[in-house]
């Protein structure tokens, strides 16, 4: 199978498995796991933040951020197609007790003037705006990179209204590599950031949230409340360190593969690539073929190619570490044949 469903399907490298085996461990609830401490310190430095916290998943990281920043009854400003709003099981309402105010972005980027207009006035009738969230790269916008000027403008508006900003940077390093800038250049426009070790970076488990010391102290408490305080978790953190040290720069290869795949797919009659391919995600509209996305995905599966679907017409192809150039060429041959 050529698995192009998601970059979450990547398997840990041999170096990661070895690092897990050899990891020095301690009780991380006591903050005595040296490997976790090293991972958190390394991540904080890479993001230009004071501190970081290892969490079990991107969803947990985002939700801990919302819980830490907001109070019940707050409103949070999120992009309409964001992961936080669409794909986290309604957790912002279920756990933090906040309501979303959504803004439709362009390629995932919210218009700063719309963000400003969405901030609630101080009035007894209104929910208080407790947080503004961005997503970079933006998944549903097809791995789109949110321009730094856009992030900067939103961050300034947030600061002047004393509202914190959180970045869902599940694929932050894809954005950094695409922009040819260090991750901290992106994270500078947010108070807190979450990124996933277990997507394109290839680690088996985990995410990082980062921010100032005070935020991370309170986030640690929320992680514990949610049952995310783990013990000898250096076993799992060690592959994360390998990911940060060895897997960032090579994301450029995934982006290159995505461009090749998009170009090939776009040349097939009735297959329309609908996104500008900035990173590792390609969105294809298959309706002109007279099939639904589910039917198209099923036909591809029979031929040995796995893709995911986004609604009735869109199919998503995602490139990653476990798909080499030969597999990309083979996938194109299969789609062409179909």
Ligand X SMILES: Cc1ncc(COP(=O)(O)O)c(C=O)c1O
Whose tokens are 């000898």? That residue is: 232
Judged by the rule CB under 6 A, the positions of this chain that interact with ligand X are: 57-59, 62, 83, 135, 139, 168, 170, 196, 207
- Yes or no: say if 308 and 8 are a contact pair by the CB < 8 Å rule: no
CB of residue 171 to ligand X, shortest distance in Å: 6
- Yes or no: say if 134 and 167 are a contact pair by the CB < 8 Å rule: yes
**DSSP state letter for 170:** T
Task: Closer to ligand X by CB, 59 or 313: give it.
Answer: 59
Whose CB is nearest to ligand X? 58
Task: Closer to ligand X by CB, 228 or 264: give it.
Answer: 228
Q: 55-68 b/e with 16+ CB inside 10 Å = b? A: bbbbbbbbbbbbbb
CB of residue 6 to ligand X, shortest distance in Å: 7
With both helix axes pointing from N to C terminus, report the angle between 234-246 and 14-22 in degrees, rounded to the nearest 10: 140
Instruction: Please state, in angstroms and rounded to a whole number, the distance separating the CA atoms of residues 107 and 111.
Output: 11
CB of residue 213 to ligand X, shortest distance in Å: 24
Task: Closer to ligand X by CB, 58 or 142: give it.
Answer: 58
CB of residue 140 to ligand X, shortest distance in Å: 8
CB of residue 231 to ligand X, shortest distance in Å: 21
Task: Closer to ligand X by CB, 82 or 129: give it.
Answer: 82
- Phi, psi at 79, each rounded to 5°: -75, 140
Task: Closer to ligand X by CB, 58 or 264: give it.
Answer: 58
Task: Closer to ligand X by CB, 58 or 164: give it.
Answer: 58
CB of residue 139 to ligand X, shortest distance in Å: 4
C-alpha distances out from residue 166 to 54, 100, 131, 143, Å: 16, 14, 7, 18
- Yes or no: say if 186 and 16 are a contact pair by the CB < 8 Å rule: no
Cα–Cα nearest to 194, from 161, 216, 163, 217? 216
- Yes or no: say if 35 and 24 are a contact pair by the CB < 8 Å rule: yes
CB of residue 78 to ligand X, shortest distance in Å: 12
Task: Closer to ligand X by CB, 112 or 143: give it.
Answer: 143
């Amino acid at each position: 199978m050529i698995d192009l469903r998601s970059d979450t399907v990547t398997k840990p490298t041999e170096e990661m498995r070895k690092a897990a085996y050899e990891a020095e461990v301690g009780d991380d609830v006591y903050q005595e796991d040296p490997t976790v401490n090293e991972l958190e310190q390394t991540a904080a430095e890479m993001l230009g933040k004071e501190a970081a916290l290892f969490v079990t998943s991107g969803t947990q990281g985002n939700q801990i951020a919302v819980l830490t920043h907001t109070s019940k009854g707050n409103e949070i400003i999120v992009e309409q197609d964001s992961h936080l709003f669409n794909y986290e099981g309604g957790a912002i309402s279920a756990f933090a007790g906040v309501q979303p105010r959504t803004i439709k972005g362009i390629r995932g980027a919210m218009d700063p003037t719309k963000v400003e207009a969405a901030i609630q006035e101080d009035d007894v009738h209104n929910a208080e705006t407790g947080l503004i969230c961005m997503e970079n790269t933006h998944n549903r916008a097809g791995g789109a990179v949110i321009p730094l000027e856009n992030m900067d403008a939103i961050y300034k508006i947030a600061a002047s209204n004393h509202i914190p900003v959180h970045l869902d940077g599940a694929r932050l390093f894809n954005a950094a590599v695409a922009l040819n800038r260090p991750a901290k250049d992106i994270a500078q426009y947010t108070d807190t950031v979450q990124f996933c070790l277990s997507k394109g970076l290839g680690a088996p488990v985990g995410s990082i949230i980062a921010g100032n010391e005070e935020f991370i102290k309170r986030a640690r408490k929320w992680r514990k409340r949610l049952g995310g305080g783990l013990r000898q978790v250096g076993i799992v953190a060690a592959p994360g360190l390998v990911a940060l040290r060895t897997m960032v720069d090579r994301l450029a290869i995934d982006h290159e593969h995505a461009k090749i795949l998009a170009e090939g797919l776009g040349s097939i009659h009735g297959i329309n690539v609908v996104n500008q391919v900035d990173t590792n995600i390609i969105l294809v509209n298959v309706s002109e073929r007279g099939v639904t996305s589910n039917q198209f995905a099923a036909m591809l599966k029979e031929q040995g190619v796995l893709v995911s679907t986004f609604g009735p017409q869109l199919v998503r192809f995602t490139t990653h570490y476990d798909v080499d150039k030969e597999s990309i060429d083979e996938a194109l041959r299969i789609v062409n044949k179909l």
